[in-house]
């Protein structure tokens, strides 16, 4: 039985939804809206997805898929077993979706088989349920179970911001509960299965705001030279007549910066200073395989090896090249709606 057929069979067993696993395209269409997956997760772990969007607009469907992925993470599905929104919505990696569903099956079955700590009953006089946080006795009316321990409802709090949590609203990290925002900020892997590179990462490697423009420019230029020269070996460009061999990754060496210039006029494809610690030319970030050296899978593996998030490659463009391609600044781009940003990335072969 194929992965899709196995996953579809389990979905039908749990929520009685007509999901066809015999054909990859039918399997993708049945799950594309994200509603079936959210319903499946809420059946196994009630209340995990608070809002399932019923509209058939693309960005609403992508929000459902994203909510499902976050929910899987919160209930303990391992990070390598998750998938990216585009894997399902655009049908890029349906096998990854099927593997995730089967991983959710294993996670739910493991949770149901886990030994449950005995509660206080009249048959066991003197037994007490102790709160993991405060060390005091917990009575049944105020008891909540989480992380294989007992808590007062008011004692289950985010380890970072101290926000009060509920049983299905936190993420486990090293045995400590975190709200989703704090987990994303402090512990979520950078550039893996989607998501944005943490702002604190950029703050840690960038010059302070009090530095002069020349200092900032020289720092960023040096970062570009160091990161790119370490990552891209010299290769010979393939000839136009050779269509069988993929075009190799090209190394582009920036010109030395004598002094900062407010509006650099660099030729297309050349890297200059940027707010990011890495800066790559548009041609090496796009998905157009006629210009790309590697296959799509090899390119994604290369980006990840450089700690570059494949889902937001436009952030690694130099500021001047970003404005040339998108017709706006990075700040203006971030203010756009999610569906507008996704469409813009598609138009520029960066999605």
Q: What class does CATH assign to 211-347?
A: mainly alpha
The confidence score (pLDDT) of residue 101 equals: 94
Tens of pLDDT along 99-145? 999 999 999 888 765 544 444 444 344 567 899 989 888 887 888 88
The confidence score (pLDDT) of residue 113 equals: 59
Q: How confident is the model at residue 34 (pLDDT cuts 50, 70, 90)?
A: very high
Whether 117-188 shares its CATH topology with 211-347 is answered no
Which range, of 142-156, 237-251, 257-271, 293-307, averages the lowest pLDDT?
Answer: 257-271
Q: How confident is the model at residue 16 (pLDDT cuts 50, 70, 90)?
A: confident
Per the model's pLDDT, the better-predicted residue between 193 and 337 turns out to be 337
The confidence score (pLDDT) of residue 220 equals: 52
Q: What is the mean pLDDT of the chain?
A: 73
Please give the average per-residue pLDDT across 83-100, as a whole number.
Answer: 91
Indicate the domain borders of the chain.
3-113, 117-188, 211-347
Which range, of 44-48, 61-65, 211-215, 347-351, averages the lowest pLDDT?
Answer: 211-215
Tens of pLDDT along 134-149? 988 888 788 888 888 8
Per the model's pLDDT, the better-predicted residue between 347 and 78 turns out to be 78
Q: According to CATH, what is the number of the domain 117-188? A: 2.10.110.10
pTM: 0.36
Q: What string of H, E and C letters represents the secondary structure of the chain? A: CCHHHHHHHHHHHHHCCCCCCCCHHHHHHHHCCCHHHHHHHHHHCCCCCCCCCCCCCHHHHHHHHHHHHHHHHHCCCCHHHCCCHHHHHCCCCHHHHHHHHHHHHHHHHHHHHCCCCCCCCCCCCCCCCECCCCCCECCHHHEEEECCEEEECCCCECCCCCCECCCCCCEEECCEEECHHHHHHHCCCCCCCCCCCCHHHHHHHCCCCCCCHHHHHHHHHHHHHHHHHHHCCCCCCCCCCCCCCCCCCCCCCCCCCCCCCCCCCCCCCCCCCCCCCCCCCHHHHCCCCCCCCCCHHHHHHHHHHCCCCHHHHHHHCCHHHHHHHHCCCHHHHHCCCHHHHHHHHHHCCCC
From the candidate CATH numbers 3.30.70.260, 1.20.120.80, 3.10.20.30, 1.10.418.10, the one assigned to the domain spanning 3-113 = 1.10.418.10
The confidence score (pLDDT) of residue 142 equals: 83
């Amino acid at each position: 039985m194929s992965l899709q057929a196995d996953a579809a069979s389990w979905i039908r067993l749990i929520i009685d939804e007509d999901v066809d696993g015999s054909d990859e395209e039918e399997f993708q269409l049945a799950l594309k809206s994200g509603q079936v997956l959210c319903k499946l997760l809420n059946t196994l772990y009630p209340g995990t997805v608070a809002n399932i969007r019923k509209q058939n607009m693309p960005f609403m469907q992508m929000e459902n898929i994203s909510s499902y992925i976050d929910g899987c993470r919160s209930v303990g599905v391992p990070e390598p077993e998750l998938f990216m929104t585009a894997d399902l919505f655009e049908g890029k990696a349906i096998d990854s979706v099927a593997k995730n569903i089967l991983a959710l099956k294993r996670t739910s079955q493991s949770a149901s088989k886990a030994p449950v700590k005995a509660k206080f009953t009249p048959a066991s006089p003197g037994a007490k349920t102790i709160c993991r946080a405060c060390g005091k006795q917990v009575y049944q009316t105020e008891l909540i179970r989480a992380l294989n321990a007992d808590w007062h409802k008011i004692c289950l709090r985010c380890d970072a911001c101290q926000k009060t949590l509920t049983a299905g609203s936190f993420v486990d990290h090293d045995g400590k509960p975190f709200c989703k925002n704090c987990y994303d900020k402090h512990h979520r892997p950078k550039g893996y299965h989607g998501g944005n590179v943490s702002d604190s990462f950029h703050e840690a490697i960038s010059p302070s705001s009090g530095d002069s423009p020349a200092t900032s420019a020289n720092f960023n230029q040096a970062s570009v030279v160091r990161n790119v020269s370490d990552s891209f070996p010299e290769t010979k460009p393939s000839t136009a007549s050779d269509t069988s061999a993929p075009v190799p990754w090209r190394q582009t060496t920036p010109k030395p910066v004598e002094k900062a210039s407010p509006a650099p006029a660099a030729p297309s494809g050349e890297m200059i200073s940027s707010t990011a610690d890495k800066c790559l030319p548009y041609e090496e970030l796009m998905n157009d395989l006629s210009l790309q050296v590697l296959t799509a899978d090899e390119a994604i593996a290369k980006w990840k090896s450089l700690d570059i998030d494949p889902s937001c490659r436009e952030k690694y463009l130099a500021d001047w090249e970003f404005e040339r391609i998108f017709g706006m600044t990075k700040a203006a781009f971030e203010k756009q709606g999610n569906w507008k940003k996704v469409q813009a990335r598609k138009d520029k072969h960066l999605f």
